Amino acid sequence: MATLVIVESPTKARTIRNYLPNSYQVEASMGHVRDLPSGAKEVPEKYKDKPWKNLAINVENNFEPIYVIPKTKEKVVKELKTALKKADELILATDEDREGESISWHLLEILKPKVPVKRMVFHEITQEAIQKALDDCREIDRDLVHAQETRRILDRLYGYTLSPLLWKKIGGNLSAGRVQSVAVRLIVGRERERRAFQSGSYWDLEAQLEHEKSEFSAKLITLDGKKLATGADFDPDTGRITEGRDVKLLNETEATTLKERLIDRTWTVSDRNEKAIKRRPSPPFTTSTLQQEANRKIGMSARETMSIAQKLYEQGYITYMRTDSVHLSQEAIAASRACIEQKYGKKYLSPQPRQYSTKSKGAQEAHEAIRPAGNTFRTPKETGLADKQFKLYDLIWKRTVACQMAEARLTQIAVNINVEEAVFRASGKRIDFDGFFRAYVEGSDDPDAAIDSQEILLPPLQVGDKPNCQKLEALGHETQPPARFTEASLVKTLEKEGVGRPSTYASIINTIISREYIQKRGKALVPTFTAFAVTSLLEEHFPDLVDLGFTSQMEQTLDDIAVGKAKWLPYLETFYRGETGLETQVQVQEDEIDLDTAKTIRLENIEAKVRIGKFGPYIEYQNGEAESIKASIPKDVTPGDLDSEQIANIIRQKIEGPDKLGLFPGTGEPIYLLNGPYGPYVQLGQKTDDNPAPRVASLPKKQKIEDVTLDMAVRFLSLKKLGIHSEKKEAVYLREGPYGHYFQLGEKSETNKRPKIASLPEHIKPEEATLDIALNYLSLPRLLGEHPETGGKIKASIGFYGPYVVHEFKPEGSKKTQKDYRSLKKDIDNVLEIDFERAMELLAQPKRARGGRKKKPLRELGIHPEDKEPVNLYKGPHGDYIKHNETNVGIPEGETIESITLEAAVALLAEKATSKKTKSTTRKKSTTKKKTTTRKKKTK
């Protein structure tokens, strides 16, 4: 009996292999294996004449979807088919949520198994859980699959009918979607609030007081029995106190006068109030909260967080990183509690194990929360991880452990101090028991927010005490506009509203950046003019679709479909067909939407029109009667920072011609400061027939246009010519591009459209660059020789990941050239000097494991007598093992990390090598077989 089990991820496959008998082969589908075609190229020939070919959904026949196997998945599908041939039973063990159920169904459709099929689901990877899951297999849930298909079809209809409308009305390459359009709308909405924001100013007093030799500060809170106005009392639309608020607003003069009057008077404590408060730890991480905290605390983007988490997951350090569940398994709770007891002591344990429940909308909870893997947690130090992997693991470890720790107990202290008609307040905070604060305190999106775990100490003030006023200051404040969204706060909002899924939060941000809807400025997400235009169009003409509640309503219906309470077809019919359906609405609105209006952005307090053109946003300005002036808006200017002054500047520059910075010393040619399609640049001389390509130089990335001086411009421009290539008689330049400095051979011309370019290596400073250096790097790739066996070329050059050598060869019978790369060893090799022998030596070495830093060994045993490579001990997800080159052997029973000797290890490695050789005839069949044999040995 052989059984094929299919799960989503290869890591999961590897793990559950250990809990299944040897007759079970576990393979991964790598997510979805079938989908709607993404574009015209993938649509099958027979549908190409259909009016709905772009949608790939037969809207004339019950929304029948046309599924294809994407190019990238063909290999996986082929492998699964081969594996199935050898099996007499198929178990589909994908996740238990909507998408997972759908993957199983698609697998069934593609594989068309002739053997019995079972659907198995499990939530924990333990022997018992998997055994139980095997016993409780069921059928595929067709309702759940329909719910997924409905979601897929709706998203396609939404995206692929609205995007073309945007192309027609605003510009190409734009997109609309159920998720991205809402995300952009949120960001645009915030920016509109910021533009409309009216700042208000208010003053207050802050006193430095002293009592029994300790100092503390107090703030003015009431005057004549009236509460003093603070930022929260202002109306953001007017910049004045919100109507109906009975507060006292101080201006600068009043505040200063009051200050001078009060400073010498007697200050008396009039009231003291203590309040006990408790703080509970935040729930364990989900994808969303992990991304938020990594962004707040380590400054990582959502994308970076996910890629590092993926590596931690693959190496067995953490559980699955795409989850919306805060559930912790029993083993995780036990492991956390063991950690706490050992590290902090019993009194830091929460009296009862704490289990959190998921609150976000539409959560599907197919996985556990993100936590350290296993049933005992390795402390961050024990992992041997480094850098960002360490930081992220540390965050996850602390957060998980904190969940099972005791509440923190605090006392808030408020002391009122009267002086004349004024009341000041000193606020303190005392931590009576730090509890989970010991391990972890959640970050905040508000940089000014007080940190929960920080004490503010006050002297023991009692009513009647008379502290001395040492200093009294009048402080002016301005109310601040609402903060822009960051990746953290956007992900938080999207999750709260149920928009997007754990697997997509990071890519949503990437999508809206690559469509140029938003720019990142530091951590802030800033919307562009395009985002304003697109959002306005969608809000005006498709308000329901960009409503924040659209997704949660959809989710509700999908849930109903999943449990059989609703039918999928009528839902799609209503969405797409009929008078109010999307199909008709897009047609109606296409006539209705005025091209000119759609491309124009209306901004308050701005006279000129901002329009979206082919080359980006530009200003259209009516100068007098007849003349209309058009001027591009610089790339990094967004609606948020466009004011009348800036517009006036842009228009002035357009009318008067480019700003002249001064004259080039020596030649006396004028130097201009201009704004081009690739950002600001300086230009020497004017473009004329004699001088068709004047010398130009970009400003360095961080250079502000306002601060450019003549001196700087001269420097930028003279960065240029290094000399003449003696053979080719062409000039060699050093230039600065968007990715740093680079060398260029010759100039761009009709005959030479792509001059040769080589980037400046990191260790050479632009000032130090000479013609010789440039020629050396421009001559790359260097041909080092031919491979004695294949006759292929051996070359050395610099690539995206640094200097490398490559062996280019054509395997026998193949037309394709294969390239085998090795990076040069830093500090040892030099790409300009490396010779053929050394290149061959590097190519003979095995490829280094990708994915960053090597794991740190538990123990170094020594050097292998034969090839002088190290033999080390490592901790793996399934136990400790010996590693030598690419060969791994488990530590045999009876031996421990400490006891094993180099000789014993070498013997074990030799044994493994011979067992490999004897099996070499069958080796190619499957890698899983090899693993099975080693495991057998271990368990004997």
Partner DNA sequence: CAGTGAGCGAGCTTCCGCTTGACTT
| Farthest-apart Cα atoms in the chain, separation | 99
3-state secondary structure of 415: strand
H runs (alpha helix) in 74-141: 74-85, 98-111, 127-135
Q: How far apart are CA 519 and CA 536, in angstroms?
A: 18
Q: Is 14 in the site for DNA (CB under 7 A)?
A: no
Stretch that binds DNA, among 97-105, 192-200, 278-286, 390-398 (CB under 7 A): 97-105
- Tell me the one-letter amino acid at 8: E
> Tokens for 319?
């559980």
Cis amide bond preceding 459, omega within 30: no
In the shown chain, the binding pattern of residues 767 to 806 toward DNA, with x for contact by CB under 7 A and - for none, equals: -------------------------------xxxxx-x--
CA distance 536 to 433: 52
* 927 makes contact with DNA (CB under 7 A): no
Using the 8-state DSSP alphabet, how is residue 456 labeled?
Answer: B
The token duo for 794 is 């051996």
CA atoms within 13 A on the CB side of 195: 21
**C-beta neighbour count of 755 within 10 angstroms:** 16
User: Could you tell me which stretch among 83-91, 229-237, 499-507, 838-846 binds DNA (CB under 7 A)?
Assistant: 499-507
Closer of 760 and 905 to DNA (Cβ): 760
Q: Hey, which residues between 291 and 310 contact DNA (CB under 7 A)?
A: 310
The only residue of 160, 202, 393, 437 in contact with DNA, by rule CB under 7 A: 160
Q: Counting contacts by CB under 7 A, is residue 167 touching DNA?
A: yes
E strand spans, 709-858: 721-724, 731-737, 740-745, 756-759, 782-786, 793-799, 802-809, 818-823
Rounded Cα distance between 887 and 870, Å, is 12
The span from the first CA to the last CA of the chain, in angstroms, equals 22
Rounded to a whole number of angstroms, the minimum distance from the CB of residue 209 to DNA is 55
Is residue 914 exposed (0-12), middle (13-18) or buried (19+ Cβ within 10 Å)? Answer: exposed
Give the whole-angstrom CA distance, residue 507 versus residue 513: 10
User: Which residues ranging from 341 to 370 are in contact with DNA (CB under 7 A)?
Assistant: 364
Asked whether position 730 contacts DNA by CB under 7 A, the answer is no
Give the one residue of 20, 22, 31, 932 binding DNA; rule: CB under 7 A.
31
CB of 39 to DNA, least distance (A): 3
Eight-state DSSP code of residue 120? -
Site for DNA in 807-836 (CB under 7 A): 821, 823
- Decide whether 388 or 438 has the Cβ nearer to DNA: 388
Question: Is residue 763 close enough to count as binding DNA by CB under 7 A?
Answer: no
378 binds DNA (CB under 7 A): no
**Residue from 217, 632, 646, 703 binding DNA (CB under 7 A):** 632
Decide: is 175 part of the binding site for DNA (CB under 7 A): yes
Q: How far is the CB of 417 from DNA (least distance, A)?
A: 54
Work out which of 398, 735, 864, 938 binds DNA, going by CB under 7 A: 735
Least distance to DNA, CB of residue 500, Å = 4
Q: Of 353, 384, 581, 616, which lies in the binding site for DNA, with binding defined by CB under 7 A?
A: 616
Cα separation of 66 and 34, whole Å?
Answer: 10
Considering beta carbons, is residue 106 or 279 the nearer one to DNA? 106
For β-strands 793-799 and 859-863, DSSP reports them as: unpaired
Find the shortest distance in angstroms from Cβ 640 to DNA: 20
Beta strands in 153-213 (DSSP E): 201-211
Which residues 646-705 are close enough to bind DNA by CB under 7 A?
A: 658, 672, 674-679, 681, 683, 696-698
Question: Nearest 5°: phi and psi at 406?
Answer: -70, 155
Structure tokens at 769: 């660059």
In terms of CB distance, is 669 or 895 closer to DNA?
669
Backbone angles phi, psi at 27, to 5 degrees: -125, 160
Distances from the Cα of 275 to the Cα of 230, 241, 413, 429, 798, angstroms: 23, 31, 7, 10, 65
Binding mask 36-55 toward DNA (x if CB under 7 A, else -) reads x-xxxx------------x-
72 touching DNA, by CB under 7 A:
yes
Q: Which residues contact 862 (CB under 8 A, 6 or more apart)?
A: 870, 871, 902
742 binds DNA (CB under 7 A): yes
Cα 422 to Cα 246, 265, 419, 594, distances in angstroms: 16, 11, 5, 60
Q: Which amino acid makes up residue 480?
A: Q
* Segment interacting with DNA (CB under 7 A) among 33-41, 395-403, 407-415, 427-435: 33-41
Nearest approach in angstroms of CB 575 to DNA is 14
Measure the CA dihedral 43/47/50/55, to 10°.
Answer: -30
In this chain, which of 748, 923, 925, 936 binds DNA, going by CB under 7 A? Answer: 748
Q: Which C-beta is closer to DNA: that of 405 or that of 499?
A: 499
**How far apart are CB 155 and DNA at their closest, in Å?**
4
572-611 binders of DNA (CB under 7 A): none
Tell me the site size for DNA, rule CB under 7 A: 96
| Subset of residues 843 to 862 that bind DNA, contact rule: CB under 7 A | 850
The only residue of 443, 500, 792, 890 in contact with DNA, by rule CB under 7 A: 500
What number of other Cβ atoms are within 10 A of residue 750's Cβ? 5
Q: Tell me how far apart the alpha carbons of residues 679 and 701 are, in angstroms, rounded to a whole number.
A: 9
Residue with Cβ nearer DNA (423 or 631)? 631
Minimum CB separation from DNA for residue 2, in Å?
23
| Residue 710 neighbours by CB under 8 Å, 6+ apart | 661, 662, 671
Q: How far is the CB of 742 from DNA (least distance, A)?
A: 6
Q: Which is nearer to DNA, 165 or 526 (CB)?
A: 165
Residue with Cβ nearer DNA (19 or 550): 550
Please identify which residue in 427, 503, 703, 887 interacts with DNA, judged by CB under 7 A: 503
Local structure of 355: helix, strand or coil: coil
Count CA atoms closer than 13 A to 763's CA, side-chain side.
Answer: 7
For residues 173 and 199, which CB has a smaller minimum distance to DNA in the complex? 173
Q: Is 501 in the site for DNA (CB under 7 A)?
A: yes
- Which amino acid would we find at residue 584? T
Closest CB 868 distance from DNA, rounded Å: 25
Closest C-alpha to 91, from 111, 110, 73, 116: 116
Residue number with CB closer to DNA (8 or 293): 8
Smallest separation (angstroms) from DNA to the CB of 747: 9
CB 549 within 8 Å of CB 142: no
Among 5, 17, 84, 98, indicate the residue that binds DNA (CB under 7 A): 98
Q: Show which residues are catalytic.
A: 320
Q: Which of 9, 25, 301, 493 binds DNA (CB under 7 A)?
A: 9
Nearer to DNA, 180 or 872 (CB): 180
Q: Quick one: 173 or 480, whose CB is closer to DNA?
A: 173
Give the type of residue at 691.
N
Contact by Cβ (8 Å): 120, 133: yes
> Where does this chain touch DNA (CB under 7 A) — which range of 23-31, 195-203, 414-422, 528-536?
23-31
Contact 200, 405 (CB under 8 A): no
List the one residue from 340, 369, 631, 671 that touches DNA (CB under 7 A).
Answer: 631
Residue with tokens 């809990």: 19
Least distance from DNA to the Cβ atom of residue 638, Å: 16
Q: How far apart are CA 237 and CA 196, in angstroms?
A: 7
**Closest to DNA by CB, 615 or 726:** 615
- Which of 614, 763, 765, 868 touches DNA by CB under 7 A? 614
Residue type at 679 in one-letter notation: G
The reply on whether position 239 binds DNA by CB under 7 A is no
Closest CB 275 distance from DNA, rounded Å: 43
